[in-house]
Amino acid sequence: MSRTVKIQAAKTHLSALLADVERGEEVIIARGDEPVARLVPVRGRGQRDLGFVAWQVPGTFFEELPQEELAAWES
Please, which pLDDT band fits residue 53 given cuts at 50, 70 and 90?
Answer: confident
In terms of DSSP H, where are the helices of 1-56?
Answer: 7-12, 14-22
**Rounded Cα–Cα distance for residues 20 and 50 (Å):** 32
Q: Which amino acid is at 71?
A: A
pTM over 0.75, yes/no: no
Mean pLDDT of 34-46: 85
CATH class of segment(s) 1-41:
alpha beta
Whether the per-residue pLDDT at 17 is higher than 90: the answer is yes
**Are the C-beta atoms of residues 48 and 57 closer than 8 Å to each other?**
no
- Answer yes or no: is pLDDT of 12 > 70: yes
pLDDT score recorded for residue 38: 96
